[in-house]
Amino acid sequence: MMPEKTGKIESNSKNHFINVRNLPECLTGCIMDSYTKFGTMRYFLSLGSNLGNRKNNLERAIELLSKAGLHIVSTSSVYETEPVGIGTESWFYNQVLEVETGLVPEELLLQVKRIEKQIGRVYQKSLSSRPIDIDILLAGEEKMNTESLQIPHSRMTERNFVLYPLAEIAPEVIHPILNEKILDLLEKSEDRFIVKKL
């Protein structure tokens, strides 16, 4: 079951909720500005492609993320994975990136959507084949639940095409809600869809 969308941001470091919707626009901007001034945030991003030249699409996404100012800390191997939950037989190439940026999650989401469109992603109501899909998996130890974004990603622990590459580059990272290591989550996963390291 997906968590209820509350429009709140929880910060483990400050241990409080900020209801962004109820704040004046100027105050909301001040909060987001100060968020970036205290340093960079470490994110883990999941990349996927099953339309067109899959390898080139992943490489292009990494290039554009870097040009957008994100520091690429590490990249996993590329995995070929069986499609999950969509009406297609086209297998995916999947990869996970560790990046650092001063962008807050909502700002990073805007950059991600812009890059997806630049590579040719067309958004549809139902899941379908796409040249690129970029998901924000983790943002440091932050927990966020708004209409547009949930961090940690709500289904990341159910998907081996996420857990395998994530465990490759960040096995000891702790899931901020479940308080378990990524490697342990992979070992406990009940996902039986095929994941092949290339």
Active site residues: 121, 130, 133, 135
Outline where 68-179 has alpha helix (H).
Answer: 105-119, 160-169
Outline where 139-188 has alpha helix (H).
Answer: 160-169, 182-188
Residues in Cβ contact with 185 at an 8 Å cutoff, skipping those fewer than 6 apart: 157, 163, 167, 175, 178
Q: How far is CA 70 from the centre of its chain?
A: 14
- Which of 6, 80, 73, 3 lies closest to 45 in space, CA to CA? 73
Distances (CA, A) of 94 to 11, 15, 77, 132, 164: 29, 34, 9, 10, 10
